[in-house]
């Protein structure tokens, strides 16, 4: 296998990890104002992701770094082209990250309320923007022969990409609700379930629209693997909904995780061998062949990734194991 193809796969893996882990973090942040009735409850909700959110976010950072190292042209075109969208995302991630650390360091209700809304905003914006981004990658954006993005911020917003944004946001919210059913106790579990059941209906609607529009607006279904994965994601979602409805939360979370993973696989598979589709001329799309780093760099990076990613998985998994218990009002740090 060409190393650039291997790196396409590794990048997909990094995005699966990122969407799976930060997906429920975003969901928890989005649900925070709706599920937490008083300050203690809101703290419980935040503390369910307290020990892990930072490590989860590093999956995104690593995906960005890997993109820079393996596909510098994609890194350059994507981030300079989606400039204002990325600015919004960074803005959101900055306030969210600080908010986790700052919110409970002062008792003033206004202080806490402010940071709680920062967590909410900081979770909802990236959730939507990632959906908009992924759907733009495959639908195509104006990229010229010199690999430069020649559109504006508003070119990124089309019916399909907005549906993509909403669908991702809903899937992450649903995923976050399922995470909360596993990490909280008694009344909160019931409320998280209720949220999942409610949000799930909307999620189902938007996922179907997304699948339909993916069929009409992109050539994702030209690839059998990608098409099967996307339909598989829908099946997993239906399963997850059924599971949470019948209060089988562990199963529900596993299935919603598979929904996220299969959706990511579907879009990357549909893209392959392209990374960014040009809407001006298919020949101007960025592909694994024309945008990758040198063989030497890819070799070095492959050795590093093969050696290090399993170690990361082991210690990150181990920390999840340490914090496997449900969070109660007695063990709040944030």
Partner 1 sequence: MEELILSRWQFGITSTYHFLFVPLTLGLSLIVAILETIYVRTGNEMYKQQTKFWGKLFLINFAMGVVTGIIQEFHFGMNWSEYARFMGDIFGAPLALEALTAFFLESVFIGLWIFGWDRISKRLHALCIWIVAFASNLSAFWILTANSFMQSPVGYAINNGRAEMTDFVALITNPYVFHQFPHTVLGGFVTAGFFVLSISGYHLIRKSHQDFFRASFKLGLVWTIVCLFLQMGSGHAYTQFIAKAQPMKLAAAESLWETTTSAPFAIAAVIDEQNKTNKAELKIPVMLSILANNDPNSTVKGIKDLEQEYIAKYGPGNYIPPVTPVFWSFRIMVAAGSLMMLIVLAAGFLWWRGQLENKEWMLKAVFWSLPLPYIANSTGWFVTEGGRQPWIVVGLQQVDQAVSPSIDAISVWISLIGFTVIFALLAVAGVYLMQKIVRQGPVSTPVQPNIPEVKGASLWS
Which of 145, 208, 235, 300 touches partner 1 by CB under 8 A?
Answer: 300
Interface positions, 138-157, toward partner 1 (CB under 8 A) = 147-150, 153
Q: Does 276 bind partner 1 (CB under 8 A)?
A: no
What distance lies between CA 243 and its chain's CA centroid?
22
* C-beta of 35 vs 298, nearer to partner 1: 298
Which of 33, 72, 239, 273 touches partner 1 by CB under 8 A?
Answer: 72
Which of 6, 9, 52, 204 touches partner 1 by CB under 8 A?
Answer: 52
* C-beta of 39 vs 204, nearer to partner 1: 39
Binding mask 184-203 for partner 1 (x = CB under 8 A): -x------------------
* C-beta of 224 vs 330, nearer to partner 1: 330
Q: Which residue has the tokens 């990374």?
A: 275
Q: Which stretch binds partner 1 (CB under 8 A): 77-85, 168-176, 197-205, 229-237?
A: 77-85
Q: Which stretch binds partner 1 (CB under 8 A): 23-31, 50-58, 261-269, 270-278?
A: 50-58
- Output the smallest distance, CB 51 to partner 1, in A: 4
* C-beta of 198 vs 248, nearer to partner 1: 248
């Amino acid at each position: 296998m060409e190393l650039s193809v291997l790196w396409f796969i590794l990048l997909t893996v990094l995005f699966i990890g990122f969407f799976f882990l930060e997906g429920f973090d975003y969901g928890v942040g989005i649900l925070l104002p709706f599920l937490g009735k008083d300050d203690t409850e809101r703290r419980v909700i935040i503390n369910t992701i307290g020990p892990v959110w930072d490590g989860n976010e590093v999956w995104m950072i690593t995906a960005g770094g890997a993109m820079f190292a393996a596909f510098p042209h994609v890194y350059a075109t994507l981030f300079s082209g989606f400039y204002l969208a990325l600015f919004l995302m960074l803005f959101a991630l900055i306030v969210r990250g600080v908010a986790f650390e700052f919110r409970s360091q002062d008792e003033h209700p206004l202080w806490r309320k402010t940071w709680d809304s920062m967590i909410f905003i900081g979770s909802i914006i990236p959730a939507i923007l990632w959906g908009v981004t992924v759907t733009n990658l495959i639908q195509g954006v104006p990229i010229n022969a010199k690999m430069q993005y020649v559109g504006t911020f508003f070119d990124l917003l089309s019916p399909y990409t907005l549906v993509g944004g909403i669908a991702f946001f809903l899937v992450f919210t649903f995923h976050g609700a399922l995470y909360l059913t596993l990490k909280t106790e008694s009344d909160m579990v019931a409320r998280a379930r209720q949220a999942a059941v409610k949000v799930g209906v909307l999620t189902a609607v938007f996922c179907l629209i997304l699948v339909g529009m993916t069929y009409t607006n992109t050539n994702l279904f030209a690839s059998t693997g990608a098409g099967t994965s996307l339909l598989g994601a829908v099946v997993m979602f239906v399963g997850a909904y059924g599971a949470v409805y019948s209060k089988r939360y562990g199963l529900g979370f596993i299935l919603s995780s598979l929904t996220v993973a299969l959706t990511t696989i579907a879009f990357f598979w549909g893209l392959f061998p392209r990374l960014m589709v040009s809407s001006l001329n298919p020949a101007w799309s960025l592909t694994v062949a024309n945008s990758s780093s040198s063989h030497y760099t890819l070799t070095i990076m492959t050795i590093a990734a093969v050696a290090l990613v399993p170690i990361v998985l082991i210690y990150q998994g181990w920390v999840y194991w340490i914090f496997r218990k449900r969070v109660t009002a007695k063990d709040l740090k944030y």
